[in-house]
Amino acid sequence: MAERRTVVLYPHLGPKAGTGHIKRLLPFFSDVRFKVYVIHRNPKFVKEISNKFDIDSERVFPLSEIKTIPDNIDLIVLDNRESDRYLYDKLKNVAPIVAIDEGGDSRKLIPYTIDILPNLLDSRPNYNNIGLLDLNIKEPIDRELKNILISFGGQDPYQLTRKAVDALKDKYSVTTVIGPLFTKKDFGVNKIENLSNLKNIFSNYDLVITSFGLTAYEAAAEGVPVALVNPTQYHQDLSNKAGFYTLDNKFNINYKKAKKLFNNIEFGIKESLTDFIYNLEVSSLGCPICGRKNNSSIQRFKNRTYYHCFHCSVDYMAAHQKDVTYSNNYFFEDYKEQYGKTYLEDFDHISNLGLGRINNILKKVKTESTLLDIGCAYGPFLKAAESKGLTPYGLDVSKDAVDYINNELDLKAINSPFPLSKPLDFNSSFDCITMWYVIEHFKNIDDVLTQVNNLLNSGGVFAFSTPNSAGISSKKSHNNFLKNSPDDHFTIWSPKSAKKVLKEYGFKVYKVKMTGHHPNRFGRYVKGKFLHRLFMIISHVFKLGDTFEIYCIKETTI
């Protein structure tokens, strides 16, 4: 049996909220993979949820009592339309948050957002698919307009049912759907009450009149033309974007146009919302340096959300997937696919690159100094350090790589993750600590830099290289830069942000070297030797390399 997940649901409820949001969440209660609770900040609606939707009152809690829920919460699902900062602040430290069709102030703060229905927002979600409505699409009906079904949700907050009935009852056979929260239930025409699933009756009618939302898509999926009456300009704009036919204030119906526009409605790729949520891995970690969780997202993809920390000036990524494992494929098949040769075939080239780095380090420390290379892989930098008179040690998560260093290079390395859970077995303190394209792989930079400071001797050198968030690729298209960033790069630095952060951890930067200069990345127009050389100069002068190396001295112990 699948592992059961505990989810807390927060539906949009209120005087003009309707019932579509809570109805969309009801399938979670019948799914045995979930243990479900419901919360709301208004005690009145908490009671209403229990009474109107036959939900066990012991599963419904006021927002103020969320911490009294007797289970460890795996996920909080908001279907709240517009969630404010207050709600986000109340929930952010309880469990990871997923928001559905979120349009409030907290949209950019929430770790994972799903847009099912079209919206007018300029910030993209992590995932967007109308198919999550899980509808079975049927062939359109083709008949004359005689029978009309009017349905304005479970509440009809704008009293549209009366207006529609009065305008249409003398021309057509009209039936109204009476929702569970209607204050008036008799409109002098046919009516349907206490119906849990409208899908089963749509095909009995030639036209469904409703407002933009779930009912409109459900009716259209059943093959029935839809005409919308929108209470606000916001709803009207959404209808226009989705392609629905809308009625004027006098309820004049152009049935031919309704059927024509109906054929253009998009339904996406059919998926189950409960399946999608069940399989979703959501990370809600704050900034990996300062820990702040109130940073706004700068870009979202299906498995990643990127934020910018305004305190640390570093971009960071929340990964919504299982961690990358560094097997032999990482150094062989994967490396060869990217660079055309395996890591060991590229060993001498990487080692030669390390010689320049050693020279930058030796400007501040003596030869015969001890050096620890964290994430040393198969040891090309250790070999370069040894050739320059340093005493090198290595640390890596790959056992095969560490065995190669110890047995083939006759150098010292330990198979261990970093930060360390126990002291190193090298019987040595370190004058230098290096990380070459490693620091971006750590989820918790605070622990990393604190431990580097503790392991490094006073006056010692800490050096690392990493992709540059201020390079030409990022400046040309930050969206593509983030999209192409590897799934295991949790932080993205610039020289400016690195200097700022390193200072807070007791380091003073003495050298920044821009690397990764690629004139061709300025644009397709950079052709020929002259333009190539010109843009290479521009890249160097304006420090637009896509990677950089940074060297600093430990000034204080933290």
The pTM of the whole model exceeds 0.85: yes
Sheet of strand 304-308: strand arrangement: 297-301, 304-308, 315-319, 491-492
- What amino acid is encoded at 79 in this protein? D
Other beta carbons within 10 Å of 265: 17
Q: Find all residues with CB under 8 Å of 70, minimum gap 6, and list them.
A: none
Give me the average pLDDT of each 10-residue run along the chain (558 residues): 87 73 87 92 71 80 90 94 92 95 94 94 93 89 93 84 92 90 83 81 94 90 93 88 90 91 86 94 90 94 96 94 72 78 90 95 93 96 96 94 96 92 77 97 96 96 97 94 94 98 98 93 83 87 95 96
- Please state, in angstroms and as integers, the Cα–Cα distance from residue 241 to each residue in 132, 262, 335, 397, following that order: 18, 13, 45, 51
Q: In whole angstroms, what separates CA 177 from the centre of its chain?
A: 38
- Domain at 5-129+277-284, CATH class: alpha beta
Bridge pairing between strands 430-436 and 315-319: unpaired
Please state which architecture CATH assigns to domain 328-514+546-554: 3-Layer(aba) Sandwich (3.40)
Are the C-beta atoms of residues 365 and 460 closer than 8 Å to each other? Answer: yes
User: CATH 3.40.50.150 residue ranges in the chain?
Assistant: 328-514+546-554
Are the C-beta atoms of residues 315 and 295 closer than 8 Å to each other? Answer: no
- Percentage helix, strand, coil for the chain under 3-state DSSP, each rounded to 5: 35, 20, 45
pLDDT at 327: 66
Are the C-beta atoms of residues 182 and 156 closer than 8 Å to each other? Answer: yes
Gap between the Cα atoms of 11 and 48, Å rounded:
12
Burial of 414 (0-12, 13-18, 19+ CB in 10 A): middle
Other beta carbons within 10 Å of 252: 9
User: CATH 3.40.50.2000 residue ranges in the chain?
Assistant: 147-262
Gap between the Cα atoms of 102 and 113, Å rounded:
7
Q: Which CATH superfamily is domain 147-262 in?
A: Glycogen Phosphorylase B; (3.40.50.2000)
- Please state, in angstroms and as integers, the Cα–Cα distance from residue 471 to each residue in 228, 287, 308, 439, 545, following that order: 49, 22, 16, 18, 5
Element (H, E) at 467: strand 456-467
Rounded to 5 degrees, what are φ and ψ at 197?
-140, 105
